[in-house]
Amino acid sequence: MSLACVHESTTVVRMRGLPVVACWFAIVGCGSSGGGDDAGDPDAPPGVADVRVVLGGDELAPETERALELGSTRVDGFHPAYELTVENPGTAELALELVIPEGFLASAPETLAPGATATLTLAMASETGGMKQGRVELRTPVAGKTYFAFALTGNVVDAFDNPMWTTPSWKLWFEDPAAVSYTGVDQAGTSQTVESAPPAEATRKFPTVAALAATLPGTAWLGTEVAPATPAAAGWWDDGVGTMDRGHSVIPLSFGSLNLGSQLSARVTFGSPSSTQLRGLGLNYTSESYSGRGHAITRFDYAAQETERTWFFGNAVRGSPSYLSYVDTDAEHVADNYDGLFAQSYQSFGRSSSEVHGLLKMLIAGGYMPRATKELLKRHGLYAPAMITLFRQALPWVAADGSPLPYEHELRHRPAYLSNGDLNSYLDEFGPVNKGYHQYPNTQHLYDMVQGAEALTTAPPTGLIELIGVEQAGTAWQLTDPRIKVNAETFVTVWPDRGQPVTVRVDLGESIDLEDGDLDFTADVVYPNQASALRVEREGKTAIFRITATPDPTLPLGRMPVLLQAHVRGLRSNPLFVNIYFPQEGQIDAAGGYFNVTSDPKQAVFWNARPVITTSLGAATNVDGQVGAPLSFTVTCTDPEGYPTAIYRRSDEGGTLAGDTYTRTPTARGTSNATFICSDGTGAYSSTQITITVP
């Protein structure tokens, strides 16, 4: 695109982001390409001044560069667009010549009268797929001077990518801001109606650049600003949250100094939206504090697939409490009702409303994601997998030496999580004998989630798993075999016959990368001391994995999970699981109800002797110290079933654990904790917390 200035005129170009259907970021280069200053150029029209460029209210200095990246769309989808306002305050007519590279669209008038303004529209064509790149210049042909240039980039995805939907069936508030009404019944039985719509642009909060650069301690990094000219991140204005239990549980909207009240497009605090209403409201997080929302929605195939179709692959995280499915009250044994691991919903440790704190952290973290990434994931219904993965990835536990635990580590993958790592109320009821295992620094966790979301400058891959075969004792199972308890898009659970090895073959080849990169795949045994009974083999360089489980009578009763992932561009997908459970003799499969393994042992699917953790302090759980003086004590752990153990710690507590000796040198007066978590490598854990007092 070129601009010719005739006679005496000054051109003012102002740019404002108008996400016609989507938002994208842009580079704008400002400077000269020959000709020098107009005043010294004999070929320049008399009195022509340099073009002033204003981007979001900020005037760009000459010879600076900014970006104009259009993000992604799909073939034959909308055209991501950006609008510029060109103003001619001079006394002569302005001639406009538009030159647009292949793959992009633009419109502009040929001339602009004195004192007039016009809107220039730049957009990305979507008729063909692939990456789009092109360069547009604004210059005066007479003087040969380039005032600034647009380097346009974008991506048109070849198809809509979602394993359970052929077309989007969910509300995308950033594309369709039309209000939606919902009527439901509250806890008192009263009918209520709420109308949902995006907040006004002038009131929308966004994370500040300073906040993104801030660090712990404190919550300064949660700072926001209202309606900035150039938002630092996506913000929350196109998000929706809702209750699925008539308001019995409600997701809060504040964390420390951050308050997201009135910042969402939809917030439903009553009723129980149907699946169609959930999608029509554009809800991204739901709380559901009914009984039967723990292991029961993970041990039935139809329930697992319903969760995936309605929530997980429809942009929503389904949150519910594990309740009696997972309790930690037996000092000698670890027991729960889960025959496998999963990651297509979020379950919290505790009872009603325990899930809302974890959902709030996901909501907050999503606001720090780049706008283009967030919209791309939501457009394809793949937002929930990214948020659940961020939650697990950021959990702040460390190895004994203080080094970070890898994502594949067993502590990151469990049936249910304490939503607020600092909260004691649910632990007093559900986990009194193992508080240290469930607790973690909650603010640190959210901070790490925010950092992870901010870093997603491209969309992470979405992992999918396809069961292609099960073989035992030389016989191939039909995929309708009732011993295949779950055959979903994100996890598989099989109950083979006792006493015989079983081989499960799965294919990850349908995993999705919205950026069309080359995926790679990995598989890891979750509980390290089950590795001798689990053989994992990748078939050549394919996406097919063969997992063979051999019964080992010395292993405790319980699930044998293998974690699989897709990888691209240094990013990982949502976790996928193959779960193998060898039933006990006389096993009763009572997946639909809660049970106590001590009173009904034949219903048990996980029953494991708890490792024993002790310190040289004996029964004492506190120790005194002095500023500047090292203090130390020993920490040991043994497993009654004879398996090797390992000790882990919290990232915020400091000190060193070398061998079995823990040492810390206090630097200030006060009270702090030293937490130690012991694993037997087969899924059982114990913990102890020592209080250190420095008077």
515 in the same domain as 403? no
Mean pLDDT of 317-336: 95
- Domain end point (choices 123, 157, 191): 157
Look-up of token digits 């005496």: 8
Contacts of 367 by beta carbon, 8 Å cutoff, 6+ apart: 206, 207, 233, 234, 235, 236, 239, 260, 453
Q: Is it the case that residue 24 has pLDDT exceeding 80?
A: no
Q: Per the domain annotation, does 166 fall within a domain?
A: no
- Domain end point (choices 403, 428, 454): 454
- In this structure, which amino acid lies at residue 435? K
Q: What is the number of other CB atoms lying within 10 angstroms of the CB of residue 65? A: 13
Dihedral angle sign, alpha carbons of residues 472, 474, 479, 481: negative
- In this structure, are residues 244 and 317 in contact, taking their beta carbons and an 8 Å threshold? no
153 in the same domain as 230? no
Asked if omega into 415 is within 30° of 0 (cis), the reply is no
pLDDT of 138 reads 59
For 13-75, the DSSP string reads: EEEE---SSS--EEEEEE--SSS--GGG-TTSPTTPPPPEEEETTEEPPTT-EEEEEEEEEET
- In this structure, which amino acid lies at residue 690? I
195 in the same domain as 139? no
Measured in degrees and rounded to the nearest 5, phi and psi for residue 239 equal: -95, 160
Give dist(CA 62, CA 60) in Å, integer.
6
Q: Is it the case that residue 13 has pLDDT exceeding 50?
A: no
List the domain range (segments joined by +) for residue 477: 466-606
Mean pLDDT of 511-518: 88
pLDDT in tens, 649-695: 999 998 999 999 999 999 999 999 999 999 999 999 999 999 999 99
Mean pLDDT of 249-268: 96
Contacts of 324 by beta carbon, 8 Å cutoff, 6+ apart: 291, 294, 337, 594
Give dist(CA 256, CA 585) in Å, integer.
52
pLDDT of 585 reads 93
pLDDT of 75 reads 60
590 in the same domain as 474? yes
pLDDT of 149 reads 63
Mean pLDDT of 90-99: 68
pLDDT of 39 reads 37
570 in the same domain as 472? yes
409 in the same domain as 302? yes
Q: Is it the case that residue 80 has pLDDT exceeding 60?
A: yes
Q: Per the domain annotation, does 461 fall within a domain?
A: no
Q: Is residue 674 classed as helix, strand or coil in its secondary structure?
A: strand
pLDDT in tens, 135-150: 766 555 554 555 556 6
pLDDT of 212 reads 78
Q: Which position has the higher pLDDT, 489 or 540?
A: 489
Contacts of 6 by beta carbon, 8 Å cutoff, 6+ apart: 45, 92, 93, 94, 95
- In this structure, are residues 418 and 442 in contact, taking their beta carbons and an 8 Å threshold? no
Q: Is it the case that residue 4 has pLDDT exceeding 60?
A: no
- The mean-pLDDT minimum among 90-99, 334-343, 570-579 falls in 90-99
Mean pLDDT of 256-268: 95
Q: Is it the case that residue 23 has pLDDT exceeding 80?
A: no
- The mean-pLDDT minimum among 35-39, 168-172, 247-251, 465-469 falls in 35-39
Q: Per the domain annotation, does 171 fall within a domain?
A: no
pLDDT of 166 reads 86
pLDDT of 5 reads 25
- Tell me the pLDDT of the chain averaged across its residues: 86
pLDDT of 41 reads 42
Q: Is it the case that residue 421 has pLDDT exceeding 90?
A: yes
Name residue 678's beta-bridge partners: 647, 686
536 in the same domain as 407? no
Q: Per the domain annotation, does 31 fall within a domain?
A: yes
Q: Is it the case that residue 256 has pLDDT exceeding 60?
A: yes
200 in the same domain as 126? no
Q: Is it the case that residue 390 has pLDDT exceeding 50?
A: yes
Confidence of residue 198 (pLDDT cuts 50, 70, 90): very high
50 in the same domain as 148? yes
pLDDT of 98 reads 62
Confidence of residue 70 (pLDDT cuts 50, 70, 90): low
pLDDT of 65 reads 57
Q: Return the structure tokens found at 686.
A: 């114990």
Confidence of residue 540 (pLDDT cuts 50, 70, 90): confident
Q: Count of domains in the chain?
A: 4
Q: Which position has the higher pLDDT, 218 or 691?
A: 691
Q: Which position has the higher pLDDT, 48 or 576?
A: 576
Mean pLDDT of 69-83: 60
Give the chain's largest Cα–Cα span: 98
- In this structure, are residues 268 and 244 in contact, taking their beta carbons and an 8 Å threshold? no
501 in the same domain as 439? no
Q: Per the domain annotation, does 675 fall within a domain?
A: yes
Dihedral angle sign, alpha carbons of residues 510, 514, 518, 521: negative
Confidence of residue 322 (pLDDT cuts 50, 70, 90): very high
Q: Per the domain annotation, does 54 fall within a domain?
A: yes
Give CA separation, 671 vs 292, 623, 694, in Å. Answer: 41, 10, 6
Q: Return the structure tokens found at 238.
A: 């196109």
Q: Is it the case that residue 455 has pLDDT exceeding 80?
A: yes
CATH number, domain containing residue 687: 2.60.40.10
Give dist(CA 613, CA 633) in Å, integer.
13
Q: Is it the case that residue 35 has pLDDT exceeding 60?
A: no
% of the chain with per-residue pLDDT over 70: 83
pLDDT in tens, 355-383: 999 999 999 999 999 999 999 999 999 99
- The mean-pLDDT minimum among 3-7, 95-99, 219-223 falls in 3-7
- Domain end point (choices 454, 477, 505): 454
Give dist(CA 649, CA 687) in Å, integer.
10
151 in the same domain as 26? yes
Measured in degrees and rounded to the nearest 5, phi and psi for residue 212 equal: -65, -25
Mean pLDDT of 123-146: 68
Contacts of 184 by beta carbon, 8 Å cutoff, 6+ apart: 191, 192, 246, 268, 270, 271, 272, 273
Specify burial of residue 403 (Cβ count, 10 A radius: 0-12, 13-18, 19+): exposed
Q: Is it the case that residue 14 has pLDDT exceeding 80?
A: no
Number of alpha helices (DSSP H) and beta strands (DSSP E) in the chain: 9, 47
pLDDT in tens, 587-629: 988 887 787 767 788 999 999 999 999 999 999 999 999 999 9
Measured in degrees and rounded to the nearest 5, phi and psi for residue 370 equal: -55, 140
Q: Which position has the higher pLDDT, 62 or 22?
A: 62
Confidence of residue 101 (pLDDT cuts 50, 70, 90): confident
- In this structure, are residues 611 and 674 in contact, taking their beta carbons and an 8 Å threshold? no
Q: Per the domain annotation, does 169 fall within a domain?
A: no
Please give the DSSP secondary-structure letter assigned to residue 531. Answer: G
For 554-577, the DSSP string reads: TSPBS-EEEEEEEEETTEE---EE
Q: Per the domain annotation, does 163 fall within a domain?
A: no
Q: Which position has the higher pLDDT, 629 or 46?
A: 629
pLDDT of 29 reads 31
356 in the same domain as 343? yes
- The mean-pLDDT minimum among 173-187, 313-327, 590-604 falls in 590-604
Name residue 492's beta-bridge partners: 487, 578
